[in-house]
Amino acid sequence: MPFATARTVSLSGATGHLVDVQVDLAQGIVATAMVGRPDLSITEARDRCRAAVTNSGFEYPTSRRVTILLSPADLPKRGSHFDLAIAVALLAAAGQMPKSALDGLVFVGELTLDGRLRAVPGVLPMTMAAAARGMTCMVVPEPQADEAALIDGMAVIGARSLAQVVAHLRGDEIPTAAEVAPMASAPLLSWRGDQRVTDLDMADVLGMADARFALEVTAAGGHHLMLSGPKGAGKTTLAERLPGLLPDLSVEESLELCAIYSLAGGLPPGRTLITRPPFRAPHHSASRASLLGGGTGHVRPGEVSRAHTGALFLDEFPLFAGDIIEALRQPLESGEITIARGEEAATFPARAMVVIACNPCPCGDYHPTDRDNRCTCSEVRRREYRRKLGGPVIDRIDIVRHVEPVPAHEARDPLARPEPTAAVRARVTAARQRQGTRYAGTPWRLNGHVPGPALLERWPLHDLAARALEDRVYSGTLTRRGGTRVHRLAWTVADLRGLDRPGGDEVDVALRLRTGDPLMFSALSVAEHR
């Protein structure tokens, strides 16, 4: 029977579906038909495969009617990596190699006309999807074998050409082939080099005790932070030091991040797992697609997803386009982003700590409580500027801090010993470990991820503290969502202090962090509460 099946993976966002590529050779009008909702790049596979098969020294069934089905047929499919599966299924159907050789294998790769195997984006998430469905062996383009091998228990065959793959399946000697170039990647590099960020230390930040503490809490609980203040107050200085406060990524986090970079085509070959949390600082003029994800053809993850497990810094936040600000609502709340396009909706993880920085007015000099402010903006312009901050996004920010330029007396304080990053990171790491233990067996890792109802039911506050918080919500001084965020923050403060449950003082600190009120000075030193 001239029929064979090969397997591959179709990606929709970061979700992978196992796809059967079935090839049937029949009598009839000579033609090659492709069915099963392929997109344009897959229909082109017909022509690529035909040339690749012929040019690799195999025989294309030119006297038959070739039907190629991508099953399940109702799932829209996209991408050029179906080539390899189509070609091997075709050769097996034509009896040029045993059909049984295809069993249990997943094929991923794009073919060139001369039969070479080209790298494709998304090999890591494809491998993850295949592994999740019990597959144990992947055939991938050679430069991406490392990427696929990151998944435990997955055997990986890296090949340079169709001929090599066929030889492997037949059990023949592997022919030589020219080296395949790694993927021509054009990562949307952030405007600051990653290296520059890793060299920054908290020890160089004078004063700003309040904001330093806010940064520590942000890092410990995976919260979102807003820094507002006149230009030159040190907002960027602080934000850039956030990734340094985070511990190394866990294997699980690292795989998720690598999968995102793989989808974006930005995972360099030979690079093993990413170990440090990312810091992304897109400029406010960046396009919607580069920020949130999208792009023509293949849907790529944007900066919000590339910052997954790390920090996303949005400087001059009110200058971002209104629809981008609106769209940030979803990642801020649920840690993922869905890009809906036509009938396709791609979802990517986007669980980054979002740090928003804003000036208090267009000229950047205004401060409502600064008696020496030199702002020249009219109140109307200030209102217009601030309107962007209002509403849905601000309500989803956990911590609000107003920073002002460090006063001369703090900058000259002979006894000031700003704590170095390493010391803060040690506390953050300990606090994150407590959370890891507490949330073991749940889908959450950090306080910032836990939904309100779960928090109230399983991890409540001390009775009195809970009642005090409830009172604030009932009296209308705090929204329900705000109450949840205070609850999460209180847990983070308790985790930093090494307490088993947040009480009144932790709630007080959390409320102050949330409302922007000045903190109690004694709360800043976590060590004293141990």
* Contacting residues toward other proteins, per CB under 8 A: 209-210, 371, 376, 378, 407-416, 517-522, 524
Q: CA torsion, points 408, 410, 411, 414, in degrees to nearest 10?
A: 120
If the CB atoms of residues 101 and 526 are measured against other proteins, the closer one turns out to be: 526
CB of 287 to other proteins, least distance (A): 32
CB of 400 to other proteins, least distance (A): 14
CB of 410 to other proteins, least distance (A): 7
If the CB atoms of residues 40 and 380 are measured against other proteins, the closer one turns out to be: 380
If the CB atoms of residues 441 and 518 are measured against other proteins, the closer one turns out to be: 518
Taking the C-alpha atoms of residue 91 and residue 95, their distance in angstroms, rounded to an integer, is 6
If the CB atoms of residues 191 and 521 are measured against other proteins, the closer one turns out to be: 521
DSSP string, 374-429: -----HHHHHHHHHTTTTHHHHT--EEEE--PPPHHHHT-TT--PPPHHHHHHHHH
CB of 416 to other proteins, least distance (A): 8
Total residues found in the chain within this entry: 530
DSSP secondary structure letter of residue 493: H
Contact 3, 25 (CB under 8 A): yes
Taking the C-alpha atoms of residue 63 and residue 406, their distance in angstroms, rounded to an integer, is 81
CB of 411 to other proteins, least distance (A): 8
Taking the C-alpha atoms of residue 275 and residue 286, their distance in angstroms, rounded to an integer, is 27
Residue with tokens 């992304």: 280
If the CB atoms of residues 341 and 412 are measured against other proteins, the closer one turns out to be: 412
250 CB contacts (<8 Å, ≥6 apart)?
A: none
CA 420 vs. chain centroid, Å, equals 28
If the CB atoms of residues 208 and 267 are measured against other proteins, the closer one turns out to be: 208
Angle, helix 421-438 to helix 209-221, in steps of 10 degrees: 40
If the CB atoms of residues 176 and 475 are measured against other proteins, the closer one turns out to be: 475
Angle, helix 209-221 to helix 480-497, in steps of 10 degrees: 90
CB of 469 to other proteins, least distance (A): 17
- Whole-Å CA distances, 150 to 120, 126, 231: 16, 12, 44
DSSP secondary structure letter of residue 526: G
CB of 391 to other proteins, least distance (A): 25
CB of 522 to other proteins, least distance (A): 6
Written as six digits, the tokens of 360 are 């208090």
Written as six digits, the tokens of 329 are 């609502």
CB of 412 to other proteins, least distance (A): 4
If the CB atoms of residues 285 and 522 are measured against other proteins, the closer one turns out to be: 522
CB of 426 to other proteins, least distance (A): 20
If the CB atoms of residues 184 and 415 are measured against other proteins, the closer one turns out to be: 415
CB of 518 to other proteins, least distance (A): 4
If the CB atoms of residues 118 and 512 are measured against other proteins, the closer one turns out to be: 512
Contact 324, 290 (CB under 8 A): no
If the CB atoms of residues 379 and 457 are measured against other proteins, the closer one turns out to be: 379
DSSP secondary structure letter of residue 129: H
157: enclosing H helix or E strand: strand 155-159
Taking the C-alpha atoms of residue 393 and residue 228, their distance in angstroms, rounded to an integer, is 14
Taking the C-alpha atoms of residue 167 and residue 174, their distance in angstroms, rounded to an integer, is 6
CB of 460 to other proteins, least distance (A): 26
If the CB atoms of residues 210 and 315 are measured against other proteins, the closer one turns out to be: 210
Q: Where are the alpha helices (DSSP H) in 178-285?
A: 194-198, 209-221, 235-239, 251-263
Judged by DSSP in three states, 372 sits in coil
Written as six digits, the tokens of 290 are 């580069």
**Amino acid of residue 210:** D
Taking the C-alpha atoms of residue 495 and residue 498, their distance in angstroms, rounded to an integer, is 5
**Amino acid of residue 353:** M
If the CB atoms of residues 100 and 378 are measured against other proteins, the closer one turns out to be: 378
